[in-house]
Amino acid sequence: MPKIKLPTSSPHIDMTPMVDLFSLLLTFFMLTTSFKPTEVAVIDTPASISEKQAPDNNIMTISISKVNKLYFNIDNGIDTSRHYRIETLKKMGEYYKIVFTPKELAKFEKLSGFGFPIQAMKAWINAADQKARDEIQATLEKDKKDGIPIDSTDNQFSNWILFARTANPDLQVAIKADLETEYEIVKKVLDILQEKQVNKFNLVTNMEKVEVKMEDIK
Amino acid sequence: MAQIEDHGNDHGKGGKKRPKKHSTHIDMTPMVDLMCLLITFFMLTTAFSKPKVMEIVLPEKKKDDKIEGPKVPKHRTFNILITQNSTIYWYIGNYNPTDKTDTIPNFYKTDFSKDGIRKVLLARNKELFKSIEELKENVKKGVVKPEEILTKDSLAVLQKTKTQNEIVNFITMKAIKELKSKDEIGPIVLIKADKEHTKYKDFVRIIDEMAIASIARYAVVDPSFYEMQKLAELTGNAPPVAENKETKK
């Protein structure tokens, strides 16, 4: 009996359309991507109807966590040649009598936001990687020494603002606070900023559309 | 393709040697793998929407206490007191307990719901809100032309750098600002938050309500001692201490 030969179909699948689609997606993501900045604290921002976008640079972000701790971040301006972060830290170091080596300053330039007294800054900069830095932040939190001091006895926050603004006069202020943050601390921050002649603030919010119809008004 | 091949075979009976056809398939699996990986990476790291910001401008701190602020007509003054659990109390006018001729204002309780403070504000700001809505509608329809609001020169400058859409937005904002500055009947809202009991979200919400109701003039101020007392009475909180900074002012 002759063997029945099944027609052997090639196991190849035509992947061209799939590859096409993938390349399209890849190109799209590559072009539109802007990397998520690393966040210092989990902050759930309130909603507003504002559609204004946060500026890309020349911005000083003051984050206030759920438990009323302050975090601070500044950027380097429109390009890295300006070294605003270095300038600011240098002045802070001079004021608090902490000497930062050029290497440390250069390292600080590439880092992001932080929330602890300046005295812990050296250890934080010299930590091996981001994980070690997060650990430092976590230990400080445990010892209740986290957050930038804002009391009148040791107002480091006010100095950060002062020196950041002397380094970069175009700096805008963004305040990012949690839903549950106490108004008292926000008010304190606003007061300090106003003392430093900052009267315009950007409150970071999520957008939420609200429609008001003419019929609603009677 | 198959048809062409058949055709060729029919004629080539004599046995023309054809080079063996290689398959045109390339194994694309590794490429697809890599692409999958890359796509996943970019998808996960992308921050799609940039954060939005709400802009507030606070009045400059008075350096000299002797300089008095602008006089505000009583009937237009709309005081909003915020306290715990997102509760709002509001009253009209201003009250000075030392002035015997002042009548004690009525405090009304409300909240942040749709029918709460928003309705009250909209009812008082009806005229301005209507004219702003009309303006937006007219811009949308194209009844209001950019040339009517801007001078030729400034329009030309804008056209160089901005798209048509941006220009339309810009002139709408400008026109709204003008309407707001001309407003003579709408409320002047004073936002006073009870420092100890208010949450940040309520502060943002009330400022947002100002934007929703298109309130032309509002300010964030500290509550007076009398208002703190009244709030304590209304909410059952501990009354404020007399040596308060506010009372000294």
Chain B residues with beta carbon closer than 8 angstroms to that of A181: 199-200
What mean pLDDT is predicted for residues B138-159? 72
Cα B180 versus chain centre, distance = 16
Of B49, B57, B208, the CB nearest to A200: B57
Q: Say yes or no: B104 contacts chain A, CB-CB below 8 A.
A: no
B137, A213 contact by CB (below 8 A): no
B144, B179 contact by CB (below 8 A): no
Chain A residues with beta carbon closer than 8 angstroms to that of B55: 50, 52, 200-203
Alpha-carbon dihedral angle through residues B193, B198, B202, B204, given to the nearest 10 degrees:
70
Domains and CATH numbers, chain B: 72-124+187-249 (3.30.420), 126-185 (no CATH)
In chain A, what is the straight-line distance between the N-terminal and C-terminal CA atoms, in Å? 94
Least-confidence region, from A83-87, A141-145, B46-50: B46-50
Do the Cβ atoms of A35 and B47 come within 8 Å? yes
Residue of A178, A205, A209, A215 to mutate when probing chain B, most B C-beta within 10 A = A205
Which has more pLDDT, A175 or B61? A175
What mean pLDDT is predicted for residues A43-62? 82
Chain A residues with beta carbon closer than 8 angstroms to that of B39: 22, 25-26, 29
Do the Cβ atoms of A184 and B31 come within 8 Å? no
Q: Say yes or no: B80 contacts chain A, CB-CB below 8 A.
A: no
Residue B249's alpha-carbon distances to A204, B77, B200, B246, in angstroms, are: 32, 20, 26, 6
Rounded-to-integer distance, Cα B111 and Cα B107, Å: 13
Rounded-to-integer distance, Cα A153 and Cα B7, Å: 96
Q: Say yes or no: B140 contacts chain A, CB-CB below 8 A.
A: no
pLDDT above 80 for B170: no
B82, B206 contact by CB (below 8 A): yes
Do the Cβ atoms of A205 and B25 come within 8 Å? no
Rounded-to-integer distance, Cα B180 and Cα B154, Å: 22
Q: Locate tokens 């802070």: which residue?
A: A92
Q: Say yes or no: B39 contacts chain A, CB-CB below 8 A.
A: yes
Chain A residues with beta carbon closer than 8 angstroms to that of B62: none
pLDDT above 50 for B1: no
Q: Which of A138, A204, A199 is nearest to B51 (CA)?
A: A204
What mean pLDDT is predicted for residues B209-232? 81
Q: Say yes or no: B129 contacts chain A, CB-CB below 8 A.
A: yes
Q: Which residue(s) pair with A72 in the sheet?
A: A62, A114
Q: Give the tens place of pLDDT for each residue, A102-135.
A: 888 888 887 888 888 888 888 888 887 778 878 8
Per-residue confidence at B247, pLDDT binned at 50, 70, 90? very low
pLDDT above 80 for A96: yes
Q: Which of A64, A65, A77 is nearest to A174 (CA)?
A: A64
Cross-sheet strand order for the sheet of B108-110: B108-110, B87-92, B77-83, B188-193, B217-221
A122, A100 contact by CB (below 8 A): yes
Q: Say yes or no: B37 contacts chain A, CB-CB below 8 A.
A: no
Of B46, B122, B123, the CB nearest to A32: B46
Task: Tell me how close the Cα of B200 comes to any Cα of chain A, in angstroms.
Answer: 5
Rounded-to-integer distance, Cα B158 and Cα B164, Å: 9
What mean pLDDT is predicted for residues A143-168? 82
Task: Tell me how close the Cα of A53 comes to any Cα of chain B, in angstroms.
Answer: 5
Do the Cβ atoms of B32 and A15 come within 8 Å? yes
Q: Where are the alpha helices (DSSP H) in B46-188?
A: 117-124, 126-141, 146-149, 152-161, 164-182
- What are the phi and psi torsion angles at A157 (to 5°)? -60, -45
R_g (Cα) of chain A, nearest Å: 25
Verdict on whether the full-model pTM lies above 0.80: no
Q: Which of A160, A152, A162 is nearest to A196 (CA)?
A: A162
What mean pLDDT is predicted for residues B12-38? 74
Residues in A 136-175 with any Cβ partner in B closer than 8 A: 174
Q: Say yes or no: B173 contacts chain A, CB-CB below 8 A.
A: no
Of B50, B202, B205, the CB nearest to A53: B50
A14, B14 contact by CB (below 8 A): no
Rounded-to-integer distance, Cα B120 and Cα B116, Å: 7
B85, B116 contact by CB (below 8 A): no
pLDDT above 80 for B10: no
Q: Give the tens place of pLDDT for each residue, B73-115.
A: 777 788 888 888 888 888 887 777 676 666 777 788 888 877 7
B59, A46 contact by CB (below 8 A): no
Q: Which residues of A128-150 are buried (b: 16+ CB within 10 A; e: fewer)?
A: eeeeebeebbeebbeeeebbbbb
Using DSSP's 3-state secondary structure scheme, residue A198 falls into coil
Q: Where are the alpha helices (DSSP H) in A153-213?
A: 156-167, 183-195
pLDDT above 60 for B2: no
Q: Say yes or no: B22 contacts chain A, CB-CB below 8 A.
A: no
Q: Which residue(s) pair with A203 in the sheet?
A: A175, B54
Do the Cβ atoms of A34 and B50 come within 8 Å? yes
Of B42, B118, B200, the CB nearest to A46: B200
Rounded-to-integer distance, Cα B249 and Cα B247, Å: 5
Residue of chain A minimizing CA distance to B39: A26
Rounded-to-integer distance, Cα B85 and Cα B201, Å: 11
Q: Which residue(s) pair with A138 in the sheet?
A: none
